[in-house]
Copies of this chain bind each other. A is one copy, B any other.
Amino acid sequence: MANSTSGESVSERIVRVLEAFDVDRTALTTTEIGRRARLPSSTAHRLVGELIQTGLLERTAGGRVQLGLHLWEIAQRGSRALRLRQIALPYMERVQARLGEHTQLGVLERDEVLFLERLSHPQAVSNVTRVAGRLPLHASSSGLVLLAFGDEELQRRTLEAPLASYTPDTVTDPDALRALLARIRREGFVVAEGFVEPVSRGIAVPIRDARDRVIAALSVVVPRADPSAGPLEEVRAAGAAISRRVREGADPFASR
């Protein structure tokens, strides 16, 4: 029942419908959804109708279609992203209050870093990260930490793929990147000087679980011109504290 003549499952088509929306396109017509999801018009209309019924999509006041609050609700309710974020948030807020720049929490998702949270200040330095946004592993400080402590297969795939250059300082030479990853494993942090944007410095540390596996990266983005060692100390202390809370089995929801 679930497969169309193209051999695709309905699940795949539904995911493509949901993926049609993003931060710059939060309300679409059904025609636009069909085009972005590469679906025949009749299929797009039927799936959109079904998804509105279930609450995963909603009609806007203007007659277009947007992601439903029920989708957000389902995703939040059972999500490990939310649990990790809730554990980390008080520590991130403290770092944020002291530095006044950007404080971020990222995890590995399909060979990229996916940001679960970002706290910022209106006057903070330039930073491309968004909540639920992604960056390549080799260019971002969070990604470099996740890559350094990731498995060999991940490192092989990343080093064999073309390494995009964002600034003249992005490390795109595989041998140089290998050396950087070894250094991150040895030192337990990375300071990425202008890898994503020339004016910014990313500093990241690993978050570890009870089995000492790296499950996330905590990072700050600060002005590159600032010579102070304070941000590195802050983020290392916060990373250690979050790892400790994770190891202790801290989960604001599990105890209820």
Give the interface of A toward B (CB within 8 A).
1-4, 9-12, 14-15, 18-19, 21-27, 46-47, 50-51, 53-56, 60, 62, 64, 66-67, 69-83, 86, 93, 107, 109-110, 114, 130-132, 253, 255-256
Contact = CB atoms under 8 A, between A and B. Distances in A.
Contact of A14 (B11, B77, B253): B11
Contact of A50 (B12, B26, B27): B12
Contact of A21 (B26, B51, B77): B77
Nearest to A24: B256
B76 A27 contact: no
A69 B77 contact: no
B109 A22 contact: no
A26 B80 contact: yes
6 contacts: A11-B56, A12-B50, A21-B77, A24-B253, A71-B75, A72-B82
Contact of A69 (B14, B18, B27, B107): B107
Contacts of A27: 255-256
B78 A66 contact: yes
A70 B71 CA distance: 12
A25 B72 contact: no
A75 B78 contact: no
A9 to B, nearest CB: 4
A90 to B, nearest CB: 8
A108 to B, nearest CB: 9
A66 B75 CA distance: 11
Contacts of A255: 26-27, 60, 62, 64, 66
Given A2-B47, A54-B15, A114 B69 contact: yes
B76 A132 contact: yes
